[in-house]
C-alpha cells in the first residue's frame, strides 16, 4: 500500500494536491478509520517523509553521470526527501520553493553540441507517474537548484499516469501537479541545450511505493555523449617509490575499478600492484585520479605502468562503457629523493611588488616562513621581503610568492637568495629533503611615461603640427591615434585647419611597462574678420556694432566709410550725419596678427533713412514707371506689433501685412484694381514710447 502524510497542516497547497491526486482510494480509506488510526498514520508517514537522502544519486552533488546512449533502469528508489523545489508557474507564491523533492534521483550531463534534448521516463507499472525537472547548473554548485530559481530550464509535474519526458510535440511550459483523471499532458516541449553547458535532471516519484522506471535519451538534436575516448594521462611516483598517482584524461566509472588494482602492472616488473584506490568514489560514481600502491619501493629508473583487463574482465570504463585500450602505457621516471634547487623566477611584471619562485617538485608549505625570512633580495635599490606564501593543496605547493614591502620602479638586475629563515630551518620539499642555499637572478624594467610634446608651425589657414615622444626608459612601442587614425612611429606630423578641434592619444610600452596619455588639441588662431550690425537705421540713431571676429588677433582697424575710423576691438556706437535724405555707408573691419603675418577684412553696408516719422501717403500710381508704384506706410522701422490693412469700397480686404517693408502693388487676387479710393488701417506699438497707435485713412489709386 501507499503511505501518505496525513497531517496536511504540514504541507503547502501544492503538496496537498500531490497527495490527493496520487491515489483516490486514500480518501475513502481515511473516512473509514478512527481518529486514533488517523493520528498514528500521520505520525508514521511524517517520520518516513522526513528521512534524509543518503543514497548516491539522490542528491544534486552525487548525481548519476549520463551517457546519452544508455538506458537507466531504477527498479527501486530509496524513500527520502530533501529541500523543497521551486517550479515556475506552479509554486503558490512568487519565488516560493514549495514542491516537495520526494524520492528523487538526479542525473548530470554536459552538452557537447547545441540542440534539443529529448528523453522518456517510462514507469515499470501502469498506475504510476513520475515527475521531472531540468536545470542549467553551468558554473554553479549543484545544490544551488534549491535557492536559485533562475536555473530552471523545463519540467513536468502532471499527475497523469504513464510515460513522461520531453518531445518535439510536447506542451510549452511546465504542467503543474494534478489528479490522474485530469489527463494533463505528461510531455513537455524539448528544451534547447547550449554547447559547453552543464545540466541536472531530477526524476521524482511523490508516493513512497513504486515499481521503478526506465530513463532513456533520444529524439533531440543535442549531443550529450562525451566524444572523448578514455586514456591514461600521466603517472607520478611518490617520494617513497612505493606509491603512484595515476591521472586519467576523463572521468571513469568507479565500479569498473578493482580494489586490488588487477588492471595494472609495472614494467620492468620490480614490484607488483597491490591496490588501486580513489577518494572520489565515496561520494560519487566516477573518478579521474587514483592511487596505486606497489608491493615494494622501486629503484631509480624509467618505468611503464601498463593497463590490461583486470579480474572484472575489463580495463577501466567511462560512463558509456568505453574502455581504455588494453596494453596502453603511461611512462614515468623515479629517482630516490635528493635535495632540489628552485627552477626559476617568473619574469617580473611592471613595478613588481612580488616575484613567484617555481620548484621542480612539491615543497611542504608548513616549512615556508610566512614572514618571508627564507628569502632576501639584493640589487640597485633596497628591497625588503615581508612575506612568502604558496598555492597550497594538502600542505604542498610548487610555487612560492615572495612579497616586497614596496614595488620596484627602477630598471636593474636583482638577486633572490634562499636561506634559513627566522625559524632556523630552510624550506623542505615533499620528500623531506632540505632545499640547498641558492641565489636566483631576476631583472626589472623602468616605468614609462607617455607624455608627449607638440610643435605647431602656425599659418593663416592651415597648421602643421609635429607630435613627439622622447623614447625614455627603453620605450620600443608607440601607438598613436589622431582623431581615431592609428600611427605607430615615435614622431608624427599632421596638418589641420587653423580653426579645429582634435584628440590625440598615445600608448607607449617597453615590453613590460606601459602608459597612456591623451590631449585635446584646440586650434583657434585663424585670423577671421566678422561683425554684426543693423542694415537699416534712423537718422537720429547711432550705429551699434558687435565684433564677432575669431582667431589670434593683435590689431583691429574700423573704417566708417570716409567719415571716421577706430583701432579699438569694440568701437563705440557711431553717429552718421543727418542729411534729410536717405544715405548709404560702408563699414569695413580689418584684423591682423603680427606673429604669423595674417590678415583678414570684412565689410557691410548700412542704410540711413531720411526720416523715421511714420506717415501714410494719400495716393500712388502703380503704372511701373518707377515712381510712386507702391503703397505702404513710410519708414515704419520703429513700429512693433505692426499690422497694416487696405479695403476696397465694398469692404473687401485687398491687402494685409505684418511687415512694414511689404508694399501693396495695386492688385487684388492678382487682378489690377482700377482708379478709385481705398480705406487703410494701421496698428502698431511705438518702440521708443511703447505707446499703442491706431490710425486710418484713405488712399487714391491712380491709373
pTM of the model: 0.55
Q: Is a pLDDT exceeding 50 seen at residue 46?
A: no
Domain 531-608 falls under CATH 2.60.40.10: yes
**Position 338 pLDDT exceeds 50:** yes
In this predicted structure, what is the pLDDT of residue 223?
A: 96
Half-sphere exposure of 108 (CA within 13 A, CB side): 23
Residue 42 near residue 26 (C-beta atoms within 8 A): no
Check if CATH label 2.60.40 holds for domain 619-701: yes
Tally of CB atoms within 10 A around 330? 20
Instruction: Report the first-to-last Cα separation within the chain, whole angstroms.
Output: 122
444 in Cβ contact with 412 (< 8 Å): yes
pLDDT band at 339 (very low <50, low <70, confident <90, very high): confident
pLDDT at 22: 34
Q: Which cell goes with 68?
A: 546519452
| Residue of 61, 97, 53 whose CA lies nearest to 79 | 53
| 345-444: in CATH 2.60.40.1220 | yes
Q: What is the largest CA-CA distance in the chain?
A: 139
Q: Per mean pLDDT, which range of 431-435, 444-448, 571-575 is the poorest? A: 431-435
Helix or strand run (H / E) with residue 338: none
Residue 618's pLDDT is: 95
pLDDT at 77 over 80: yes
Dig out the grid coordinates for 65 from the structure. Answer: 553521470
From the number of C-beta atoms within 10 Å of its C-beta (0-12, 13-18, 19+), residue 411 rates as middle
Instruction: Using only the alpha carbons of the chain, give its radius of gyration.
Output: 48
Q: pLDDT at position 244, please?
A: 97
Report the distance separating Cα 308 and Cα 113, nearest Å. 33
DSSP letter for each residue of 243-264? EEEEEEEEEEEGGGS-TT-TTE
Please tell me the total number of residues recorded for the chain in this structure: 703
**Residue extent(s) of CATH 2.60.40.1220 domains in the chain:** 232-334, 345-444
The burial of 170, by beta-carbon neighbours within 10 Å (0-12 exposed, 13-18 middle, 19 or more buried), is given as: buried
Instruction: For the chain, give every residue range classified as CATH 2.60.40.10.
Output: 453-524, 531-608
Pick the CATH number of 232-334 from 3.10.20.90, 4.10.490.10, 2.60.40.1220, 3.40.50.620: 2.60.40.1220
Query: Is the pLDDT score of 92 beyond 90?
Result: no
β-pair partners for 231: none
Sign of the four-CA dihedral 243, 247, 251, 252: negative
State residue 94's pLDDT score: 57
Tell me, what's the pLDDT at 639? Answer: 95
> Grid coordinates representing 316?
577501466
Q: Is the bond preceding 626 in cis, omega lying within 30 degrees of 0?
A: no
> What was the pLDDT predicted at 110?
96
Q: Rounded to the nearest 5°, which phi and psi values hold at 88?
A: -55, 130
What is the CATH class of 453-524? Answer: mainly beta
Q: 97 pLDDT band (50/70/90 cuts)?
A: low
Residue 28 has pLDDT above 80, yes or no: no
Nearest-angstrom CA–CA distance, 419 and 427: 8
CA of 429: how far to CAs of 341, 395, 458, 474, in Å? Answer: 10, 11, 70, 40
Lowest-pLDDT range of 275-279, 477-481, 524-528, 554-558: 524-528
Q: pLDDT tens, 197-211?
A: 999 999 998 777 778
Residue 17 has pLDDT above 80, yes or no: no
Report pLDDT for 49: 46
C-alpha cell at 45: 508517514
Distance CA 68, CA 272 (A): 38
Cell of 204: 521524482
The interaxial angle of helices 25-32 and 13-22, nearest 10 deg, is: 90
Q: What is the pLDDT of residue 47?
A: 39
pLDDT band, residue 96 (cuts 50/70/90)? low
Amino acid at each position: 500500500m501507499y503511505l501518505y502524510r496525513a497531517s496536511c497542516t504540514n504541507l503547502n497547497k501544492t503538496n496537498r494536491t500531490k497527495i490527493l491526486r496520487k491515489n483516490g482510494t486514500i480518501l475513502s480509506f481515511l473516512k473509514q478509520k478512527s481518529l486514533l488510526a488517523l493520528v498514528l498514520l500521520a505520525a508514521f508517514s511524517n517520520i518516513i517523509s522526513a528521512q534524509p537522502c543518503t543514497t548516491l544519486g539522490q542528491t544534486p552533488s552525487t548525481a548519476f553521470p549520463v551517457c546519452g546512449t544508455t538506458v537507466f533502469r531504477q527498479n527501486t528508489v530509496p524513500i527520502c526527501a530533501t529541500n523543497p523545489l521551486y517550479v515556475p508557474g506552479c509554486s503558490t507564491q512568487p519565488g516560493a520553493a514549495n514542491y516537495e523533492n520526494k524520492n528523487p534521483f538526479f542525473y548530470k550531463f554536459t552538452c557537447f553540441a547545441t540542440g534539443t534534448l529529448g528523453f522518456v521516463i517510462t514507469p515499470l507499472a501502469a498506475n504510476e507517474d513520475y515527475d521531472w525537472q531540468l536545470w542549467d547548473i553551468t558554473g554553479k554548485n549543484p545544490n544551488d537548484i534549491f535557492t536559485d530559481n533562475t536555473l530552471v530550464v523545463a519540467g513536468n509535474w502532471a499527475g497523469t499516469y504513464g510515460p513522461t519526458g520531453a518531445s518535439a510535440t510536447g506542451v510549452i511550459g511546465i504542467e503543474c501537479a494534478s489528479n490522474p483523471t485530469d489527463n494533463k499532458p505528461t510531455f513537455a516541449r524539448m528544451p534547447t541545450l547550449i554547447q559547453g553547458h552543464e545540466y541536472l535532471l531530477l526524476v521524482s516519484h511523490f508516493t513512497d511505493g513504486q515499481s521503478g522506471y526506465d530513463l532513456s535519451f533520444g529524439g533531440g538534436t543535442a549531443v550529450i555523449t562525451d566524444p572523448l575516448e578514455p586514456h591514461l594521462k600521466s603517472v607520478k611516483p611518490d617520494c617513497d617509490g612505493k606509491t603512484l598517482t595515476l591521472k586519467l584524461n576523463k572521468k571513469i566509472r568507479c565500479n569498473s575499478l578493482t580494489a586490488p588494482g588487477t588492471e595494472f602492472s609495472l614494467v620492468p616488473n620490480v614490484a607488483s600492484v597491490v591496490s588501486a584506490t580513489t577518494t572520489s568514489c565515496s561520494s560519487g560514481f566516477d573518478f579521474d585520479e587514483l592511487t596505486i600502491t606497489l608491493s615494494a619501493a622501486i629503484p631509480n629508473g624509467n618505468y611503464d605502468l601498463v593497463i590490461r583487463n583486470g579480474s572484472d574482465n575489463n580495463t577501466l570504463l567511462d560512463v558509456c562503457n568505453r574502455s581504455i585500450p588494453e596494453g596502453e602505457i603511461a611512462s614515468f621516471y623515479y629517482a630516490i629523493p635528493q635535495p632540489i634547487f628552485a627552477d626559476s623566477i617568473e619574469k617580473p611584471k611592471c613595478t613588481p611588488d612580488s616575484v613567484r619562485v617555481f620548484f621542480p617538485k612539491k615543497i611542504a608549505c608548513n616549512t615556508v616562513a610566512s614572514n618571508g625570512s627564507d628569502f632576501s633580495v639584493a640589487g640597485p635599490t633596497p628591497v625588503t621581503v615581508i612575506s612568502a606564501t604558496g598555492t597550497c593543496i594538502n600542505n604542498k605547493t610548487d610555487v612560492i610568492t615572495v612579497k616586497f614591502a614596496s614595488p620596484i620602479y627602477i630598471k636593474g638586475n636583482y638577486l633572490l637568495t634562499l636561506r634559513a629563515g627566522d625559524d632556523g630551518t630552510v624550506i623542505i620539499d615533499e620528500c623531506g629533503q632540505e632545499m640547498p642555499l641558492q641565489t636566483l637572478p631576476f631583472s626589472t624594467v623602468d616605468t614609462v611615461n607617455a607624455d608627449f610634446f607638440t610643435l605647431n608651425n602656425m599659418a593663416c589657414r592651415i597648421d602643421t603640427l609635429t607630435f613627439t615622444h622622447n623614447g625614455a626608459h627603453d620605450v620600443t612601442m608607440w601607438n598613436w591615434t589622431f582623431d581615431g587614425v592609428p600611427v605607430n612611429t615615435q614622431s608624427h606630423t599632421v596638418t589641420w585647419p587653423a580653426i579645429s578641434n582634435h584628440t590625440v592619444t598615445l600608448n607607449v610600452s617597453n615590453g613590460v611597462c606601459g602608459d597612456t596619455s591623451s590631449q585635446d588639441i584646440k586650434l583657434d588662431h585663424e585670423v577671421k574678420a566678422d561683425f554684426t550690425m543693423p542694415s537699416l537705421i534712423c537718422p537720429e540713431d547711432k550705429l551699434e556694432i558687435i565684433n564677432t571676429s575669431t582667431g589670434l588677433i593683435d590689431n583691429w582697424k574700423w573704417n566708417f566709410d570716409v567719415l571716421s575710423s577706430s583701432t579699438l576691438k569694440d568701437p563705440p556706437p557711431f553717429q552718421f550725419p543727418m542729411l534729410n535724405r536717405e544715405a548709404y555707408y560702408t563699414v569695413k573691419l580689418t584684423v591682423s596678427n603680427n606673429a604669423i603675418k595674417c590678415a583678414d577684412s570684412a565689410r557691410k553696408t548700412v542704410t540711413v533713412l531720411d526720416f523715421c516719422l511714420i506717415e501714410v501717403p494719400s495716393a500712388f500710381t502703380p503704372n511701373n514707371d518707377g515712381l510712386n508704384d507702391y503703397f505702404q506706410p513710410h519708414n515704419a522701422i520703429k513700429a512693433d506689433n505692426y499690422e497694416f490693412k487696405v479695403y476696397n469700397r465694398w469692404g473687401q480686404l485687398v491687402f494685409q501685412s505684418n511687415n512694414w517693408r511689404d508694399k501693396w502693388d495695386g492688385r487684388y487676387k492678382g487682378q489690377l484694381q482700377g482708379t478709385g479710393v481705398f480705406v487703410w488701417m494701421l496698428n502698431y506699438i511705438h518702440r521708443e514710447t511703447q505707446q499703442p497707435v491706431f490710425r486710418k485713412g484713405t488712399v487714391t489709386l491712380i491709373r
